[in-house]
Structure 1
Amino acid sequence: MTNSVSVQSESFDLAAEYRQFGADDAGIGAVVAFVGRVRDLNLDRNVVALSLEHYPGMTEKALQRIADEAAIRWPLNAVRVVHRVGDLKPTDDIVLVLTASPHRKDAYEANQFIMDYLKTRAPFWKKEHGVDGEARWVDARDSDYSALERWEHALKTNWGIVDHD
């Protein structure tokens, strides 16, 4: 099982990441890719920039733990997570999650699980900069926590696993 994470300020190349991802693994039957982008409208506020801060070392460990959790719950051949930090503008790519498995259902579910956990458990601090010149820190939304609760309920009922975070 290949499992890697990166936190970086530079943009990523989706095509290059895909070409390298599980390239020599003939057991992969499905690859699911999610690319998140910075959008310009967030909760009725025109956003002109987004700044992401993190704690180097701690963030990578947290991302690795999330990817490892997905690999425990689904039969995955590979996981790749790339998350950007620094100053980003609308239309910039911010996150990439690649999951590979022999079967598509597992690759899809693991990808969604990773994204839901990234939104709520990854130690990033986000600040939106509006057209009005004001900046404000952004927290995870209620819908992000609802998605997380759904996974935690499923994990407890289907696998008897309790989240230790």
Structure 2
Amino acid sequence: MELKLDRRTAAEDTAPLDMLARLFDAHGWPCGFENDQELAGEIEGSWTKYQLRFVWRAEDRVLQLLCLPEIRVPDAKRRAACELLAMVNEQMWLGHFDVWSQGDMVLYRHGLLLGEDGTLDLGTAQFALDHAVSECDRFYPAFQFVLWGDKSPRAALDAALVDAAGEA
């Protein structure tokens, strides 16, 4: 998902939400400001459309990225989904998955601690987006296997992480 913005934009560090809005705009992805501290957008992944939210806390210089893959956890599957979440999170270096208590939605969450000036550069913004979508795409099948395929969490994770061998 390599992107080139104009030289001025690419070279400068910018307020986090402004940089993300420029990035979404350059890709032609829909997004909009919810308020001064929150930006919402949408990206098409390999399995589904992902709703993204970015929340900026200037006093802490933290940008929180939330990616919602439209996976709802029914009460009957909550225990298995939580077991899968724990196993999935063991596989991750950045961010984590959780079940949002309001609406029982699976979500990916990652907090970026920005420097003293509280700005975000293009490379970091692009990496954060790419990583969130990539992790959601990587584990989406495991959640589907547990929630709709009645696989055990271990079998679902093993099946989702199988890499194709050889060439077609």
TM-score range, shorter chain: 0.3 to 0.5
Higher helix share: 2
TM-score, scaled relative to structure 1 = 0.35
Asked which structure has the greater CA Rg, the reply is 2
Higher strand share: 1
Q: Which has the higher contact order (CA 8 A, sep 6+)?
A: 1
